[in-house]
A and B are shown apart, each in its own frame.
Chain A
Amino acid sequence: MSISSILDIAKSGLTAQRLALEVTSENITNVNTPGYSKQTTIFQTAPTTLERGFPLGSGVQVAEIQRAYNDFLQQQLTGQSATEGFSSTVLASMNQAQQLFNDLTTDGLGKSLQDFFSAWQDLTSNPQGQPERQAVLASAQQLVDQFQRINGSLHDLKSEANQSLEGIVSDVNNYTSQIASLNDQIKLIEIQGGRANELRDQRDQLVRELSGKVGITYIEQTDGTLNVSLSLGQPLVIGKQAATLSLQPDPANSSYYKVLATSPGGNTTTDITSIAGGIDNRQGEMGGALQVRDTMVNGFLSDLDELAYTLATEVNNVHTTGFGLNSSTGLSFFTPPATMAGYSGSGGIAVNITQTADVAAASTDPATGGTGNNVNAQTIASIYDKVLTTSGGQLTLGSFYNSLVGKVGVAVQDATRTQATSDSTIKQLDNLRESNSGVSLDEELANLVKYQTAYQGAAKMITVSSDMLDTILGLIR
Chain B
Amino acid sequence: MRVTQNTTANLVLNNLQIIRQRTEELEQQASTGVKVSAPGDDPVTAQQVLHLKALISAGDQYSRNISNGTAWLSMSESAMSELGNVISRAKELGVAMSSDINNPDSQSAAVKELTQLRDELIQLGNTQLNGKYIFGGFKNDTAPFDPAGNYTGTDDAINIEVDRGTQVQINYSGGQLIRGGTPPGSSGTDIIGTINNMITALGAGNTAGVRTELGNLDNAMGQVLATRTDLGARLNHLTAAGNIIDDRKLSLTKVISDKQDVDFAQVISDLTKQQTAYQAAMAASAKVSQMSLLDYLK
Whether, in the assembled complex, A32 has its beta carbon less than 8 Å from a beta carbon of chain B, the answer is yes
- B65 and A402: CB pair below 8 A? no
- B61 and A118: CB pair below 8 A? yes
Interface residues on B, range: 35 or more
- B38 and A104: CB pair below 8 A? yes
Q: How far is the CA of A399 from the CA of B54 in the complex (A)?
A: 9
Residues facing B in A357-391 (CB within 8 A) are: 362, 364, 366, 369-374, 378, 381-382, 384-385
Q: How far is the CA of A295 from the CA of B161 in the complex (A)?
A: 42
We find that the number of chain A residues with CB closer than 8 angstroms to chain B is 64
- B4 and A435: CB pair below 8 A? yes
CB < 8 Å: which of B5, B49, B130, B132 contacts A31? B5
Q: How far is the CA of A384 from the CA of B7 in the complex (A)?
A: 59
B185 to chain A, nearest CB (A): 23
- B58 neighbours in A (Cβ, 8 Å): 114, 384-385
Q: How far is the CA of A442 from the CA of B159 in the complex (A)?
A: 87
- A438 neighbours in B (Cβ, 8 Å): 4, 6-7
- B260 neighbours in A (Cβ, 8 Å): 104
Q: How far is the CA of A132 from the CA of B297 in the complex (A)?
A: 88
- 1/0 per residue, CB under 8 A from A, across B215-250: the answer is 000000000000000000000000000000000000
Whether, in the assembled complex, B57 has its beta carbon less than 8 Å from a beta carbon of chain A, the answer is yes
Q: How far is the CA of A95 from the CA of B37 in the complex (A)?
A: 13
- 1/0 per residue, CB under 8 A from B, across A88-112: the answer is 0000001100100111110000110
- A406 neighbours in B (Cβ, 8 Å): 39, 43-44, 46-47
B296 to chain A, nearest CB (A): 9
Residues facing A in B8-54 (CB within 8 A) are: 10-11, 14, 32, 34, 36-44, 46-47, 49-51, 53-54
CB < 8 Å: which of B10, B32, B36 contacts A430? B10
- B4 and A372: CB pair below 8 A? no
Indicate whether A371 sits within 8 Å of B39 (C-beta atoms), given known contacts A118-B61, A435-B4, A449-B297.
no
Whether, in the assembled complex, A124 has its beta carbon less than 8 Å from a beta carbon of chain B, the answer is yes
- A337 neighbours in B (Cβ, 8 Å): none
- A434 and B4: CB pair below 8 A? yes
- 1/0 per residue, CB under 8 A from A, across B280-298: the answer is 0000000000001110010
- B46 and A371: CB pair below 8 A? no
Whether, in the assembled complex, B1 has its beta carbon less than 8 Å from a beta carbon of chain A, the answer is yes
Indicate whether A371 sits within 8 Å of B293 (C-beta atoms), given known contacts A382-B161, A439-B6.
no
Q: How far is the CA of A448 from the CA of B159 in the complex (A)?
A: 95
- B46 neighbours in A (Cβ, 8 Å): 104, 405-406, 409
Whether, in the assembled complex, A431 has its beta carbon less than 8 Å from a beta carbon of chain B, the answer is yes
- 1/0 per residue, CB under 8 A from B, across A449-468: the answer is 10000000000000000000
A269 to chain B, nearest CB (A): 40
A426 to chain B, nearest CB (A): 11
Whether, in the assembled complex, A121 has its beta carbon less than 8 Å from a beta carbon of chain B, the answer is yes
Whether, in the assembled complex, B93 has its beta carbon less than 8 Å from a beta carbon of chain A, the answer is no
- 1/0 per residue, CB under 8 A from B, across A426-452: the answer is 010011001110111111011011000
CB < 8 Å: which of B10, B41, B158 contacts A434? B10
- A407 neighbours in B (Cβ, 8 Å): 43
- A370 and B137: CB pair below 8 A? yes
Ranked nearest first, the 10 interchain pairs of A and B with the lowest CB-CB distance are A412-B40, A370-B138, A409-B39, A409-B43, A370-B139, A440-B4, A372-B140, A406-B47, A372-B138, A125-B68
Given contacts A126-B132, A374-B158, A439-B6, 7 further A-B contacts (CB under 8 A): A32-B6, A110-B50, A110-B54, A370-B138, A382-B161, A398-B54, A436-B2
Provide a sorted-by-A list of 11 A–B residue pairs whose CB atoms are within 8 angstroms: A94-B40, A102-B38, A118-B57, A121-B61, A382-B165, A402-B47, A409-B39, A413-B43, A427-B10, A439-B6, A445-B294
CB within 8 Å of B: which residues of A?
31-32, 94-95, 98, 101-105, 110-111, 114, 118, 121-122, 124-126, 128, 362, 364, 366, 369-374, 378, 381-382, 384-385, 398-399, 402-403, 405-413, 416, 427, 430-431, 434-436, 438-443, 445-446, 448-449
